[in-house]
Amino acid sequence: MKQTRLIMGMPVTVDIVAPNTDLIIDKVFDYFTYIDNKFSVYKKDSEIMMINRKEISLEKSSSDMQEIFRLAEQTKQETDGYFDIINKSGIYDPSGIVKGWAIYKASKIIEQHGFFDYYVDAGGDIQVNGNNHEGKPWKIGIKNPFNQNEIVKTVCLRNQGIATSGNYIRGQHIYNPKNKSEQITEIVSISVIGPNVYEADRFATPAFAMGKSGIHLIERIKGLEGYIIDSAGIATMTTGFEKYVNN
Amino acid sequence: MKKLILSFSIIITFTLYAFFSNSKSNSSPQLASSSSDLNIAPPQSIPNGVMFKNGDYTGTIEDVYYGNVQIKAVISNNQLSDVIFLQYPKDKDNSVKISQRAMPILRSEAIKSQSADVDIVSGATETSSGFRKSLGNALAQAQK
């Protein structure tokens, strides 16, 4: 059974290859709503905003919140600071790490109920497990950054995650007003395959921030493969990426 | 109710812009298209009725965690005709650790449109809500 709902400002799809799983699917969506209420910086009563307003300390916050901060710190170390949940205004916004983590945890809810052929997709970051409705590995298409009705690569995954970070809407007039001849990094998307969507997502975010060298971050990390697309439509892939490609 | 109308009109203008930028053939790379049936839904039809005042409108500077985004919206013929990035996050200087390693040569290819016979699609949502906010702010000024 498959259902899609809009949560956390994005479409969330749950597909379990089994009939009569609507109650489990409800639980998965409830979990995403719980995550949104806790971690969204757009909800003034969320726990993260209470931390940002110093109404509660991290030490007194929930165990899920403390876990996210710990994981964020670990990711920051591993990416030489390219990943940081504190933004320039000094606000903590862990959305770059919460999404993949929440999808992964949501998939565990499905497994706890005894189902192992499923996928959970939140805004294009996906955890897949087992087989699809045809009994084969899940086939995932990577969106064309220049035309989102097309795909430009297909990969087959089983028990893995894939996350795509990107910015498809770029004007043709990107310039630095202080230095007009300065070239601004021209990559439009990076897709990362990992052992689960949490690992894929937490590195896709900083890899995109690094521009063209982001693919080398992914190449460097064992267990991750990546596919980066630049603004000229040239894609570069890590050395192990092709084993996932469906021909 | 006002918020609903505002967010709805922002979504519409976004769709307008996305359609506009997709239909400009000189701005996208030419893709070699391969096979046949794309069973992905066709582009949404463009709704009528959203009108803006001609001119340039500069949006707010918004923080995305790795830098700032600021948009200027250009309205001509009462429609969004261009979106200019006044500020866009730059990548930081290359990490010393990465640049000093010997890196393998990675394979590159031109992307090409493929058959869309897939179970799921992975793509970026516009995760930079700072972009949306700056553009939304510029468009809200254009509506006054």
Complex ipTM, two decimals?
A: 0.87
Amino acid at B6: L
- Beta-carbon pairs below 8 A across chains A and B: 206
User: In the 8-state DSSP scheme, what is residue A137?
Assistant: B
**Given this model, what pLDDT does residue B37 score?**
27
On whether the CB atoms of residues B73 and B60 are closer than 8 A, the answer is: no
* Among candidates B41, B85, B123 on the partner chain, residue whose Cβ is nearest the Cβ of A173: B85
Average pLDDT (B77-106) is 60
Is residue A36 within 8 A of residue A63, CB to CB? The reply is no
Of the candidates A216, A227, A221, A224, the residue with the CA atom closest to the CA atom of residue A188: A227
Residue A193's Cβ-side half-sphere holds a number of Cα atoms within 13 Å equal to 25
Q: CA B13 to CA B3: how far, in whole Å?
A: 15
A11 forms beta bridges with A6
Please provide the distance, in angstroms rounded to a whole number, between the alpha carbons at the two ends of chain B.
18
Least Cα separation, residue A36 to chain B (angstroms): 15
Q: Please name the residue that has the structure tokens 């967010």.
A: B7
Instruction: Establish if A43 touches chain B: CB-CB under 8 angstroms.
Output: no
Tell me how close the Cα of A163 comes to any Cα of chain B, in angstroms: 7
Which residues in chain B have Cβ-Cβ distances shorter than 8 Å to A242? 107
C-alpha triplet B85, A186, B67: angle, nearest 5°: 55
Residues 116-175 of A with CB under 8 A from B: 119, 121, 123-126, 128, 132-133, 138-154, 162-175
A80: nearest CA partner in chain B: B95
Pairing of strands B107-110, B79-87: unpaired
* Residue whose token pair is 């998307």: A189
Give the residue, A110 or B37, on which the prediction is more confident: A110
pLDDT for position A133: 96
- To the nearest whole number, what is the mean pLDDT of chain A? 90
Q: Pick the residue of B45, B98, B111 with the most A CBs within 10 A to test the interface with A by mutation.
A: B111
Q: What are the pLDDT digits (tens) for A20-38?
A: 999 999 999 999 999 999 9
How many angstroms separate the CA of residue B42 from the nearest CA in chain A? 7
Q: Which of A108, A119, A125, A107 minimizes the C-alpha distance to A205?
A: A125
Please, which residues have CB within 8 angstroms of residue A65's CB and are 6 or more apart in sequence?
Answer: A38, A39, A47, A48, A51, A58
pTM over 0.80? The answer is: no
pLDDT band of A246, cuts 50, 70, 90: confident
Assess whether pLDDT exceeds 90 at residue A235.
Answer: yes
Per-residue pLDDT at B45 exceeds 90 = no
Q: Do B108 and A149 touch (CB under 8 A)?
A: no
Nearest chain B residue to A149 by CA: give it. Answer: B40
